[in-house]
Amino acid sequence: MVIGLIKTFNIMKKSTKTSNTYYQIILDASGSMNSCRKATIDSLNEQIAMVKALAEKNPEEQYQMGLVDFSDAHDINTIWKMRPIEMIRPVQIEDYVPRASTALWDAFSLTCLALQDQYQREIEHKDASVVVMVLTDGFENASLQFTARNVKMLIRGLENSGDWNFRFIGADFDANTIADNIGVSRDYAYSMSKMEMNKSADYMGYEMDAIMAKKMSKRR
C-alpha cells in the first residue's frame, strides 16, 4: 500500500513539474524592412498574443519571450530581454526602426550564444527548451565575426546538446536559401510576401503548437 502511494506521488510530481520555454525572435532591421515596418510590428504583436494563449492553454509551462533586431555588424538592438510572457508589452512603432545592412550571421550567433550561456544548464536537465525564430527580407551582407559555416556548426551543436528549435522566415526572400546555407531542413524555413506579413504569426503559431506537443509528449 505504501509503495503504491509512493509510486503515485512520484508520477504526480513528475507530471506537475514546471518547465520553461524560451521564445527568442531575431528580427531583420535593415533599411529594406522599412516598407513593411507597421505590418512587421503587427505580426510581432500577434505572436505575443499567440504565446500568451499558449500560456493559458499549458499552465504547467512557463513561457518567456525575448526580441532583438539587427542591421550592421555590432548593431544588435534588444527591444526587450527574455522575460515572462505576462510582462511582455505590445511592440510600438518607435521600438522598431529599420536601418542600414544585414549582419544576419553575427546577430544570430551572438544571440544564440548568449541564450546558451544563460540557459544551457536548464536545457541539459530537461527543465527548459528554446525556440529561435529569425525573420529577414534579404541575404546576409554585413557580418564581421561569423560565417554561414560558423552558424551551421553552432546550430548542429545546440541541437545535439538539448531542446533547441530553429525557424527561419523570409519576407520577399526565399528562406530555403538560408536553410541550405546553414544546413537546416527546409521544413523549418518559410517564405512569404511582405504584403502578407501576418502569415509569419500564423506560421509560428502552427509551429509552436507542434513544438509544444512534442515537448509535452516527452514529459509523459
User: Which pLDDT belongs to residue 5?
Assistant: 43
CATH number at residue 151: 3.40.50.410
Question: For the segment 108-139, what is each residue's pLDDT rounded down to a tens digit?
Answer: 999 999 999 999 999 999 899 999 999 999 99
Whether 32 maps to a domain, the answer reads no
Q: Is the pLDDT of residue 6 over 50?
A: no
Whether 2 maps to a domain, the answer reads no
Q: Is the pLDDT of residue 217 over 90?
A: no
The three-state (H, E, C) secondary structure of the chain, written as one string: CHHHHHHHHHHHHHHCCCEEEEEEEEEECCHHHHHHHHHHHHHHHHHHHHHHHHHHHCCCEEEEEEEEEECCCCCEEEEEEEEEHHHCCCCCHHHCCCCCCCCHHHHHHHHHHHHHHHHHHHHHCCCEEEEEEEEECCCCCCCCCCCHHHHHHHHHHHHHHCCEEEEEEEECCCHHHHHHHHCCCHHHEEEECHHHCHHHHHHHHHHHHHHHHHHHHHHC
User: Which pLDDT belongs to residue 75?
Assistant: 96
Whether 46 maps to a domain, the answer reads yes
Whether 154 maps to a domain, the answer reads yes
Whether 26 maps to a domain, the answer reads no
pTM exceeds 0.75 for this model: yes
Question: For the segment 18-62, what is each residue's pLDDT rounded down to a tens digit?
Answer: 799 999 999 999 999 999 999 999 999 999 999 999 999 999 999
If one counts the domains in the chain, the total is 1
Q: Is the pLDDT of residue 158 over 50?
A: yes
